[in-house]
Amino acid sequence: MLRNARSLALGLLLIPFVLRAQGAGKMVSYPSGSETVSGYLATPGGAAAQKGPAIVLIHEWYGLNDFMKKKADYFASQGYVALAVDLYRGKVATDADTAHQLMRGMPEDRALRDLKAAVAYLRTRPDVDPKRIGSVGWCFGGGWSFNLAIAEPTLAGAVIYYGHLASDDATIQKLQVALMGNFGGKDQGIPADSVLAFQEKARAMQKNVLFKIYPDAGHAFASNPDPKVFRPEDAKDADARTDLFFKKLLKGE
**pLDDT 10s digit of each residue in the chain, 253 long?**
333 333 333 333 333 333 333 457 999 999 999 999 999 999 998 666 689 999 999 999 999 999 999 999 999 999 999 999 999 999 999 999 999 999 999 999 999 999 999 999 999 999 999 999 999 999 999 999 999 999 999 999 999 999 999 999 999 999 999 999 999 999 999 999 999 999 999 999 999 999 999 999 999 999 999 999 999 999 999 999 999 999 999 999 8
* Residue 242 in domain: yes
Residue 148 domain-assigned (yes or no): yes
CATH number of 243's domain: 3.40.50.1820
Provide the whole-model pTM: 0.90
19 in a structural domain: no
Q: Cα 233–240–119 angle (5° rounding)? A: 130
Pairing verdict, β 35-42 and 81-85: antiparallel
Q: Is 101 helix (H, G, I), strand (E, B) or coil?
A: helix
Confirm whether 150 is domain-assigned: yes
- Residue 128, in any domain of the structure: yes
Task: Count Cβ atoms below 10 Å from residue 73 Cβ, excluding itself.
Answer: 18
- The CA-based diameter of the chain, rounded to the nearest angstrom, is 75
- The reply to whether 152 falls in a domain is yes
The CA distance from 217 to 205, in Å, is: 29
Domain region containing 138? 28-251
Domain count, the chain: 1
**Which run of H or of E encompasses 52?**
strand 52-58
